[in-house]
Amino acid sequence: MASFEYLALTAQGRKDKGFIEADSERHARQRLREQGLRPVELSQAKQKSSRFSLQRSVPGGELSLFTRHLAALVQSAVPLEEALSACARQCNHHRLRAIILQLRSQVLEGQSLSAALRNQGQTFPEIYPALVAAGEQSGELAQVLIQLADYNEKRQKLKSRVLQSAIYPLVLALVASGVVALLMVYVVPKVVAQFEHSQQTLPWLTQLMIAISDGLQQYGLNGLIAVLVSLVLLQRLFRQPDRQRWLHRQLLRLPVMGRVLIRLETARLFGTLSIMSHSGVPLLEALQTARATLANRYIRQQVEQATSQVREGGSLSGALEQLQLFPPVAIYMLANGEHSGELGAALNRAASQQEDELDGQISIATSLLEPLMIVLFGAVVLAIVLAIMLPILQLNNISGF
């Protein structure tokens, strides 16, 4: 069966959009009429959707919800194709619903769920087809799907914490910079213009503010355009993998951000390895999949070197320790797990420990950065106010004599 996207009219004349499965377009129109709908537009979902619509990754929350629904149905012994059909009807996300129907069509054609997931390209994280394949082989697909949903939700929470800690200071800086720019461009010139005919020497702070204000009025727009153009050029410049690796390596050397990025990638790597180890995925395959989940290309390259050492017979903890990149405590926990034969549990504990330390670092950085920014921009506003008030006080002193 194929999936068709339709636009139809109800008996009351209202528009109804959605997806329907049928053997052919004629069959799809017949099924719509049986439901009391008059088809207006009908097209096969796979043909209509381009790689920009269906080959993008779906939102993490929707993906977790779909995975939990599918796990519950499979655990209840519902046949896979029926479970996928029910998930598609339950899903409110337009693009994800089309993807689920495509998965069902491929399963009905005889493909495994893991193969159907791989056919979706970048829609699903690489860990999905790898773990689903392991679940299909072991007969514990429902349990694997539950673990996938937990993993995805945990990853989304970690990502949200990092983004929130970065977005708030950025928004605060942009708003404060905008207010200061408005003061410099519109307020300062009008106030200072009142002293042009006083024939008095303005204080140096006022002269400095006038110079900055004149510069912003004359070159502010050109400067903003230059900054935007530079950002676009830098983005294109660092599209190449070699340059991206160099940039990502330099980010790791930054005083505070570097430690945060390393702990974030460590938690991501160990968390992925943990869930794959518990699901029975071979270590080398787990390393290949976990490496693809890392955002930092330099760390990804280093993990690839460690994978080569493991393939040659070395231990995972020893290979990662030689990189001198990951936190030593996490490496020691990993080595202890290898010696005791509980690698999955050790990886899970190490990932949780890194996430806890990451939360602590983010909380400290946010608590310090917020008052620092307030003091900084408060000092700028104070300087503007003094630049305006000093000439007034000076003029009053002259008038008093």
Domains 2-48 and 60-152 share a fold: no
pLDDT at 401: 47
- Does the domain at 2-48 match CATH 3.10.20? Answer given as yes
- Provide the whole-model pTM: 0.67
For residue 385, is it left (φ>0), alpha (ψ between -120 and 50) or beta?
alpha
**AA identity, residue 250:** Q
Taking alpha carbons only, the member of 327, 322, 323 closest to residue 351 is 327
pLDDT at 395: 65
Q: Are 216 and 181 in contact (CB under 8 A)?
A: yes
pLDDT at 399: 52
Q: Which residues of the chain have pLDDT under 70?
A: 1-3, 21-23, 45-57, 192, 194-200, 395-401
Predicted confidence (pLDDT) per residue in 251-308, tens digit:
888 887 888 889 888 988 898 888 888 878 888 888 888 888 888 899 989 999 999 9
55 vs 121: CA distance, rounded Å: 6
pLDDT at 91: 85
pLDDT at 299: 92
pLDDT at 47: 40
Helices 141-182 and 257-278: crossing angle, nearest 10°? 160
CATH of 60-152, one of 2.60.40.10, 2.40.40.20, 3.40.50.300, 1.20.81.30: 1.20.81.30
Q: Are 123 and 54 in contact (CB under 8 A)?
A: yes
**Burial track 63-80 (b if 16+ CB lie within 10 A, e otherwise):** bbbbbbbbbbbbeeeeeb
Architecture in CATH for domain 154-401: Up-down Bundle (1.20)
Q: Where are the domains of the chain?
A: 2-48, 60-152, 154-401
